[in-house]
Amino acid sequence: MFLTDARVEGRRQVARAMWVITLDAPEVAATVKAGQFVNLGLNPGPLLRRPFSVYRAIEDRIEVILQAVGAGTAQLLALREGDLVSCLGPLGRGFEIRSGGRSAVLISGGLGVAPMPVAARDARAAGLQVTWVHGARSAEDLCSESDGDAVIVATDDGSAGFAGTSVAAAPDADLVLACGPNRMLAAVAGRWPDAQVAVETYMGCGTGVCLGCAVPLKRGGYDLACTEGPVYRAGDVDWAALPSHLHYAATA
Amino acid sequence: MSVDMTVRIGGLQLRGPVMAASGTFGYGTEVPLLERRALGAMVSKGIFLKPRHGTAPPRIAETPSGMLNAIGLQGPGAEALIRDYAPQWAGWEFPVLVNINGESVSDYGELAARLDGVPGVAGFEVNISCPNVEQGGMYFGNDPRAAAAVTEAVRRRTRLPVWVKLTPMVADIGVIARAVESAGADAVSAVNTFVGMSMDINAYHPRLSFGTGGLSGPAIRPLAVHLAHQAARAVDIPVIGVGGIMRAEDALEFLIAGCTAVQVGTATFVNPKAIADVHDGIAAYLATKGFASLAELPRYLPRD
């Protein structure tokens, strides 16, 4: 884990309200695994950091994807090239992508696309055929970037691709990875209990000390999304007890 | 020039005045990028005798310059603490105090007795101020007789230092501070979180599942400085200031207000190196002002 002041290197729009920002963070870029995240802080800015899955890692740079959902993310979006962001990471346990089997399906909803490019990279490196499935409310909300041997898009309103959810549009595969609103992940759990899913929670420290990011488990009790997650076996999470009213990877 | 940063609190000699506040540092084994050299002491996450699951999510909500939390004292219980954490603490170069909790007066005494003599446990911080449990917690901190009864129950069962963590949710903190001092406390920590509430205007429901939560962070600092000062004026035992310290300047406010030492809490969530930054900043400030030791720092502590 590293704590660095990362320089903003650029920003691009990938959907109606979704941007990718590029940060210079060599240590994180060199060590991050699919599904891991960074906790970004601004000073002056809101008190708490904001967690973001690492979207891509290229040489010395990482990318994160964000949507302006509150004051914190709006401030991150207002950053310009050369500005500094405090970057803590990589954090959490990511997806476990092992060789074995032949196919992987990466299912995302909205901002849940965040961990998928790195997952696609690692799945391909493990010798798997990658199917990329991405869904959003409508065509303008779909992330314009994808990375798979096959690509399937889905929209709730049918304005592009499959009319319905990304979960309904997805084929079966040896390895199922998913990320998106918790309601969507609950549907994944119903169809593939062994799928690996990255959950959304409110998060404080990101490092396991505040105990704020509790994830209710079927076996009873809670554990912490920041250190024991954010990736879980879909069938292990008590979805009915996990609040699902916040956007993925953004808390304010 | 090196400044003498040592402080004495009750029976403990600390190499510096900055400690990790309970509930913000786990059991000391979880904190990443930890610079142990700067730690005067650590207070563990609060525990009960028995394991507890804690409250349902959402457990935290950010507020202007602060955060609400209702964790509900999730923890592994005394036996796991003795087995998994205390042996590690025994090898550390700073004391670890255990923040102890109970639903009844006798619970506190029993927990203290169980932990007394365990290598690695250097003392107790008696939590009579947690706002996020259904039974016990803040109830004991609201009433001078109950506060004294809990303190005495712990005092009887251990010879280790006994600190008592006070709640700010009282009319006169001096009354509670004096009550626990009379009951045998070696020091008081002032203050725990303030009870707060925030509503989700889309869900028509509190943002925390518990309903209310404890407010921490810079938002409470001036309130906490005032209460710590009131406590320091009321008692002769040391007062440990806690509440919204983010930087050395904030800690110095508590020290000048009459505190012997300070605890850093929420700041660690934002900056894992906050304790080291505060410690180093205090030392640099004292050197700049020409003081050879923290003890030389002038205090504002008028006598009534």
Sort residue B120 into left (φ over 0), alpha (ψ -120 to 50) or beta. Answer: left
Report residue A124 CA to chain centroid gap: 18
The mean of the pLDDT values for chain A is 93
pLDDT per residue, tens digit, chain B (304 aa), is 589 999 999 889 999 999 999 999 999 987 777 788 999 999 999 999 999 999 999 999 999 999 999 999 999 999 999 999 999 999 999 999 999 999 999 999 999 999 999 999 999 999 998 877 777 677 899 999 999 999 999 999 999 999 999 999 999 999 999 999 999 999 999 999 999 999 998 889 999 999 999 999 999 999 999 999 999 999 999 999 999 999 999 999 999 999 999 999 999 999 999 999 999 999 999 999 999 999 999 999 987 6
Does some domain include residue A97?
no
From the number of C-beta atoms within 10 Å of its C-beta (0-12, 13-18, 19+), residue B247 rates as middle
Are both A126 and A224 inside the same structural domain? yes
Contact A215 B56 (CB under 8 A): no
**Which of A37, A58, A91 delimits the end of a domain?**
A91
Distances (CA, A) of B53 to A117, B103, B109, B135: 35, 15, 22, 15
Give the domain CATH number at A60. 2.40.30.10
The residue out of A61, A91, A121 marking a domain boundary is A91
Chain B positions touching A3 (Cβ under 8 A) are 33, 271-273
The partner residues of A1 in beta bridges, in order of sequence, read none
Please indicate if any CB of chain B lies within 8 Å of the CB of A220: yes
Cα-Cα-Cα-Cα dihedral of B138, B102, B117, B9, to 10°?
0
Interchain proximity A214–B74, CB inside 8 Å = yes
Contact A211 B54 (CB under 8 A): yes
Residue A235 lies in a domain: yes
The yes-or-no verdict on residue A252 having pLDDT over 70 is: no
CA distance B232 to B6: 19
A157 plus A33 within the same structural domain: no
Q: Is B30 on the interface with A (CB under 8 A)?
A: yes
CATH assignment at residue A122: 3.40.50.80
State CA A108 to chain mean position distance.
9
In A, which residues are within 8 Å of B43 by CB distance? none
8 Å CB contact of A202 and B57: yes
Partners of residue A200 in chain B, C-beta under 8 Å: none
Same domain, A112 and A85: no
| Test mutation, A211, A239, A251, chain B, max B CBs within 10 A | A211
Substitution target from A210, A222, A247, A251 for chain B, most B beta carbons within 10 A: A210
Q: How many domains does chain A have?
A: 2
Of B74, B269, B273, the CB nearest to A48: B269
The answer to whether residue A56 sits within a structural domain is yes
Helix (H, G, I), strand (E, B) or coil at B79: helix
pLDDT at A247 over 70: no
φ and ψ at residue B62, rounded to 5 degrees: -80, 145
Q: Are residues A64 and A152 in the same domain?
A: no
Residues of A in contact with B277 (CB under 8 A): none
Nearest to B59 among A205, A211, A252 (CB): A211
Scanning A158-217 for CB atoms below 8 A from B yields 201-205, 207-216
Domains of chain B and any CATH numbers = 7-296 (3.20.20.70)
- Cα B290 to Cα B302: distance, rounded to the nearest angstrom: 24
Distance of alpha carbon A66 from alpha carbon A79, whole angstroms = 13
pLDDT in tens, A119-161: 999 999 999 999 999 999 999 999 999 999 999 999 999 999 9
Shared domain for A219 and A147, answered yes or no, is yes
Q: What is the pLDDT of residues A158-215, one digit of tens each?
A: 999 999 999 999 999 999 999 999 999 999 999 999 999 999 899 999 999 999 999 9
Where among A91, A118, A143 does a domain terminate? A91
Q: Are residues A62 and A121 in the same domain?
A: no
Please indicate, yes or no, whether residues A112 and A40 belong to a single structural domain of this protein: no
B24 CB within 8 Å of a chain A CB: yes
- Whether A164 and A48 map to the same domain: the answer is no
Distance from CA of A179 to the nearest CA of B (A): 19
Is residue A250 assigned to a domain?
no
Q: Are residues A142 and A175 in the same domain?
A: yes
Name the residue with tokens 């993310």. A73
Q: Are residues A110 and A223 in the same domain?
A: yes
Q: Is B54 on the interface with A (CB under 8 A)?
A: yes
In a domain, A246, yes or no: no
User: Is residue A216 situated within a structural domain?
Assistant: yes
* A210 in any annotated domain: yes
| A160 lies in the same domain as A38 | no
Cβ atoms of A47 and B218 closer than 8 Å: yes
| Residue B19 pLDDT | 97
Say if A251 falls within a structural domain.
no
List, as one string, the DSSP characters of A187-238: HHHHH-TT-EEEPP---SSSSSSS--SEEEBTTSSEEETTTT-BEEEGGGB-
Nearest CA to A118 out of A198, A13, A190 is that of A198
Crossing angle of helices B144-157/B173-182, nearest 10°? 30
State whether A111 and A232 are in the same domain: yes
Domain that holds residue A82: 2-91
